[in-house]
């Protein structure tokens, strides 16, 4: 019998930060190559760096900066729908 899978609620993914999900991002090739070089050279002791760890740390730092700058240091409200591809939403 096939196992049924369900998509986790957004709040569920927020509550369990150790769980990883796959994300597809498009980056300038030179930025990605530099990040890969850094992860490669820092893979061993003491940093034990991976590309995922580098990206996660960068996202966390940038999100904290954006919260301070644009949202009084508070978390942004949970979105009501998935992001749409294409041009950024105009405010």
**What's the pLDDT score for residue 90?**
66
Q: Which of 18, 16, 58 is nearest to 38 (CA)?
A: 58
User: Tell me, what DSSP letter sits at residue 3?
Assistant: P
Residue spans of alpha helices (H) in 1-91: 10-15, 29-41, 51-70
The pTM for the full model equals 0.70
Angle ∠(82,73,25) on CA atoms, nearest 5: 35
Looking at per-residue pLDDT, the higher value among 13 and 40 belongs to 40
CA distance 62 to 68: 10
The pLDDT of residue 81 is above 50? yes
Angle of helix 29-41 versus helix 51-70 axis, rounded to 10: 120
């Amino acid at each position: 019998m096939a196992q049924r899978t369900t998509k986790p609620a957004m709040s569920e993914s927020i509550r369990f930060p150790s769980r990883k999900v796959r994300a597809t991002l498009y980056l300038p090739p030179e930025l990605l190559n530099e990040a890969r070089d850094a992860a490669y050279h820092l893979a061993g002791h003491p940093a034990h760096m991976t590309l995922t760890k580098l990206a996660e740390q960068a996202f966390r730092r940038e999100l904290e900066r954006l919260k301070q700058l644009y949202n009084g240091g508070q978390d942004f409200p949970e979105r009501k729908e998935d992001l749409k591809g294409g041009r950024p939403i105009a405010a």
